[in-house]
């Protein structure tokens, strides 16, 4: 495998100044904690900010940091205080972070902060380019660096570039309310592979791409600017073994003993999170307060241990949250506490790994209810630390981890009664039930670790990268001679040929693409050879193919696989009944055609097509984006899909695919197969053909095809050579 470089906003090692000099310590945070064990074991380079403003450092200190970090394969990007404020505090954490977590963002002019975001992404790009070489594998992480994949792609068109988002991706409407949303999508789409924690985040991202860009989306593949990108979910795990080993260390056993003595026989309810508005810490405290109000018999029998880890302390919203949280802690302790019982044991700070693991181990209940969270590794760390399997996990439905940890008590973090009920249920849960729940989740977590997560992502990245490689070589010289020789010596041949853009050039009006006499003669001569089966597999409607090619002894496939006619037999219909859905959607397309000068509707047997080839670019692009947005909403739960093609939007059944038609027509005895196409529907066909097939892409753009021809004229020239 090529050199692997990990890029994130923060390095896994942070630097700070002390009276005695520079101090290096592990960084706090899910990304750094989760990924560092994977990266350290494999010796990957890691690029990021070292945690200290560049103005605070002399040239000598900067060099010391560079030298010291290099020992751990870490490489710093130095940022100024202004960059840290504008890029990190404001744009990343006061705009992107709340928006992605469905929290309100105050309207303002963020142009200056956006420019800083761009500038810092460029700084990271420069460092990555300087520390890597062409052919490297680059893995970019999180929302602070969403422009970086596109910037890298411009300078390294053939590198494997992965991106993983560690926070939620909001629905398309929310995301695109951001003025710079389209530019962020352009940046992300420079990657070869884009990963999210859950399938719902993948769906939201693809919806945003469908709405705001000219991308062509097929399943989880996105074709954009002649570039093929894969999008998938990769739920992040933890270093499970690290926690199971820690359970039995002398230090953790001692810390656990001290904690048990401190809390006695009380039920320990543990809540651990960064002090962040998205974490729902006030809501957790209010739920605990209500539990004490409604269940007085629990007084002096329970204690809530709240570990609030400092975060983004320079941001006003975080300062305000801390003030409110500590005020509510004081209120609960004053109202319900006694000389021998403090209902809330509040800790503002961070704990060492051993102390935190011990706290996980002795806690009877983990109360983890963020308002919204990309994953939430704390829940997984708690379960991994449950040596005696006697803990209960209460988890928010809106955390990404809830899709995996289904044996937790799942709650709505915005419904207080739900949380209060879960707390009471956890306190009284029978031992057998809670052990069964923990055991099931531990088995899952042990098989889905951070190493599995990273390995799966990197394996998928390499596979995605191979798919997008420009291995489609021009069909000239020796490669063409070899193809023709193999054709001539073959005993059973199949020729899969698209129509528009392959056998005929594109025309402004669909009816103008009638086959020439020369094309009809060429196809007829090819079909006359008994060794040949000629198949025209097209998006054209059945009537066009019948009228234009019906007299030839060839097989015809219409509307991308919705109907098929083998040789001169009868047509078989495979598409779903279209009359009902077309009645509903035809008025919509007509409306958008009327709004767009030069646009018109083509009504096929099994599909509807909105053409805008003759439309002025401004109106075409404007209404294309709006139409995509409307269709995305209308078709989400249907058996229909829409795709963009050469200046068209086509709505059809999800089951009308050239791949299915080609698979049905494949002859297992064929010893020569050639397929020629020009767009995404043909990529679908290429993917199901045998490995020894000749696949040819017509025109520019990335492709799975092995070879490329420039134009329909080149195709006809090649086919003519088969007859000489």
Active site members: 498
- Kindly give, in sequence order, each residue whose CB lies less than 8 Å from that of residue 500, ignoring residues fewer than 6 positions away: 506, 513, 538, 539, 540, 646, 678
CB 235 within 8 A of CB 453: yes
| DSSP element (H, E) containing 274 | strand 267-274
Cβ 405 vs Cβ 441: under 8 Å: yes
Which SS3 state, helix, strand or coil, does residue 487 take?
helix
Take residue 184 and report the two structure tokens written for it: 């962020």
Q: 108 to each of 18, 111, 114, 174, 339, how far by Cα in Å?
A: 38, 9, 12, 16, 50
Instruction: Say how far apart CA 724 and CA 721 lie, in whole Å.
Output: 5
Task: Name the residue among 690, 697, 696 with its Cα closest to residue 672.
Answer: 690
Angle (deg, nearest 10), helices 712-721 and 477-489: 50
% helix, strand, coil for the chain, step of 5: 45, 20, 30
Token digits of residue 178: 């951001």
Tokens describing residue 28: 């706090």
Residue carrying structure tokens 């200056």: 112
Q: Alpha-carbon distance 233 to 220, whole Å?
A: 10
Q: Which pairs from 420-427 meet CB under 8 Å and 24+ separation?
A: 420/287, 420/290, 420/291, 420/294, 422/394, 423/269, 423/287, 423/288, 423/291, 423/365, 423/367, 423/394, 424/291, 424/295, 426/269, 426/364, 426/365, 426/392, 426/394, 427/267, 427/298, 427/302, 427/364, 427/365
């Amino acid at each position: 495998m090529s050199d692997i470089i990990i890029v994130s906003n923060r390095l896994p090692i942070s630097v700070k100044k002390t009276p005695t000099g520079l101090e290096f310590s592990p960084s706090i945070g899910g990304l750094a904690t989760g990924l560092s064990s994977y990266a350290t074991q494999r010796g990957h380079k890691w690029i990021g900010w070292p945690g200290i403003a560049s103005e605070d450092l002399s040239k000598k200190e900067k060099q010391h940091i560079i030298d010291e970090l290099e020992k751990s394969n870490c490489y710093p990007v130095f940022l100024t205080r202004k960059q840290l404020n504008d890029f990190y505090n404001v744009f990343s954490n006061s705009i992107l972070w709340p928006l992605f977590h469905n929290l309100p963002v105050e309207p303002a002019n963020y142009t200056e902060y956006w420019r800083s975001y761009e500038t810092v992404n460029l700084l990271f790009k420069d460092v990555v380019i300087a520390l890597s070489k062409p052919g490297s594998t680059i893995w970019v992480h999180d929302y602070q660096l969403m422009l970086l994949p596109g910037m890298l792609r411009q300078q390294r068109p053939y590198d494997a570039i992965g991106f993983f988002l560690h926070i939620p991706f909001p629905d398309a409407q929310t995301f695109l309310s951001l003025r710079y949303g389209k530019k962020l999508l352009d940046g992300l789409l420079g990657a070869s592979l884009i990963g999210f924690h859950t399938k719902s985040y993948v769906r939201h991202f693809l919806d945003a791409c469908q709405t705001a860009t000219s991308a062509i989306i097929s399943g989880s593949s996105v074709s954009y600017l002649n570039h093929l990108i894969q999008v998938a979910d990769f739920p992040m795990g933890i270093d499970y073994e690290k926690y199971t080993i820690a359970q039995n260390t002398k230090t953790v056993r001692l810390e656990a003993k001290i904690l048990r003595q401190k809390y006695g026989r009380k039920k320990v309810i543990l809540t651990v999170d960064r002090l962040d508005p998205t974490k729902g810490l006030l809501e957790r405290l209010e739920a605990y307060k209500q539990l004490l109000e409604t269940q007085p018999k629990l007084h002096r029998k329970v204690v809530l241990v709240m570990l609030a880890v400092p975060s983004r302390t320079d941001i006003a919203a975080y300062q305000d949250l801390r003030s409110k949280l500590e005020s509510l802690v004081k209120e609960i302790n004053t109202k319900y506490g006694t000389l021998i019982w403090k209902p809330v044991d509040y800790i503002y700070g961070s704990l060492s790994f051993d102390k935190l693991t011990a706290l996980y181990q002795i806690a009877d209940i983990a109360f983890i209810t963020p308002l919204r969270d990309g994953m939430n590794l704390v829940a997984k760390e708690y379960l991994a630390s449950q040596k005696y399997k006697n803990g209960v996990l209460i988890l928010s439905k809106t955390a990404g981890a809830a899709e995996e940890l289904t044996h937790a008590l799942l709650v709505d973090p915005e419904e207080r009664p739900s949380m209060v009920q879960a707390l009471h249920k956890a306190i009284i849960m029978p031992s057998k039930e809670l052990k069964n729940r923990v055991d099931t989740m531990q088995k899952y977590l042990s098989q889905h670790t951070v190493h599995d997560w990273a390995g799966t992502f990197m394996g998928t990245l390499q596979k995605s990268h191979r798919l997008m490689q420009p291995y489609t070589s021009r069909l000239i010289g020796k490669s063409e001679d070899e193809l023709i020789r193999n054709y001539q010596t073959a005993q059973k041949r199949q020729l899969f040929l698209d129509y528009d853009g392959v056998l005929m050039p594109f025309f402004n009006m669909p009816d103008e693409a009638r086959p020439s006499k020369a094309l009809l003669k060429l196809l007829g001569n090819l079909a006359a050879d008994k060794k040949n089966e000629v198949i025209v597999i097209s998006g054209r409607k059945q009537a066009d193919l019948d009228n234009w090619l019906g007299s030839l002894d060839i097989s015809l496939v219409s509307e991308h696989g919705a109907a098929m006619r083998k040789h001169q037999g009868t047509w078989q219909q495979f598409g779903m009944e279209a009359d009902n859905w077309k009645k509903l959607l035809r008025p919509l397309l007509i409306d958008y055609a009327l709004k767009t000068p030069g646009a018109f509707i083509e009504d096929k047997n099994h599909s509807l097509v909105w053409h805008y080839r003759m439309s002025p670019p401004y109106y075409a692009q404007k209404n294309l984006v709006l139409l995509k947005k409307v269709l995305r909403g209308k078709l989400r739960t249907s058996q229909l899909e829409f795709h963009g093609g050469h200046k068209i939007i086509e709505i059809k059944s999800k089951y009308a695919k050239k791949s299915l038609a080609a698979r049905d027509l494949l002859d297992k005895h064929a010893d020569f197969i050639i397929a020629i196409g020009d767009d995404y529907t043909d990529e679908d066909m290429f993917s199901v053909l045998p490995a020894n097939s000749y696949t040819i892409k017509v025109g520019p753009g990335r492709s799975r095809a092995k070879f490329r021809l420039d134009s329909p004229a080149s195709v006809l020239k090649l086919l003519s050579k088969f007859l000489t």
